[in-house]
Amino acid sequence: MTEFTGWEADATGVLRLPSGRLVRGRGLRAAMPTGHPPEFGVYLLGSPPPEFGWATRWVRWPDFWVPADPPYAKSVLIETLRRAEGERVEVACFGGVGRTGTALACLAVLDGVPPAEAVGYVREHYHRHAVETPWQRRFVKRFASL
């Protein structure tokens, strides 16, 4: 068995959840960060992502909106949190702020952050402009009840 080598906690885009799990958020329009590639990726896009060479899930999620299928998005994020225990996991959209920030805030909710505090948590620990629209903020607040 090989030893798990996760993300560096202080690397760009890496969010430490309250449980200590590390998840990398990023924008696909930027170059791939240096270092290890992810082992699992969640891609929040309006159309299918390209093949990356690692396990992926695509959540149909138009820019500036919320997921087209919220129950599916929740199931993918539950899987993402579970996999982040022992794999390098990334969550990405085109810009890496709105949809990615929303998904990271939902992961924070799954990891124990109260829904009303999750957007602030992600803005403090990931990106200050994460979760860009009012409907994305509302989605995070209602996420636990999906």
Give the mean pLDDT of 58-64. Answer: 97
What are the CA-CA distances from residue 15 to residues 46, 80, 107 (Å)? 24, 13, 10
Parse the chain into domains and list their residue ranges. 36-145
Which DSSP letter does residue 85 get?
T
Give the mean pLDDT of 20-29. Answer: 97
Architecture of domain 36-145: Alpha-Beta Complex (3.90)
Question: Cβ–Cβ contacts within 10 Å for residue 86, how many?
Answer: 11
Question: Residue 109 and residue 128: Cα distance in Å, rounded?
Answer: 18
Give the mean pLDDT of 35-48. Answer: 96
- pLDDT greater than 90 at residue 54: yes
For the chain, how are helix, strand and coil distributed in percent, rounded to 5? Answer: 35, 20, 50
Question: Residue 120 and residue 98: Cα distance in Å, rounded?
Answer: 13
Q: What is the pLDDT of residues 62-102, one digit of tens each?
A: 999 999 999 999 999 999 999 999 999 999 999 999 999 99
The H or E element that residue 92 is part of is strand 89-93
What are the CA-CA distances from residue 100 to residues 4, 15, 73, 107, 129 (Å)? 24, 11, 12, 10, 11
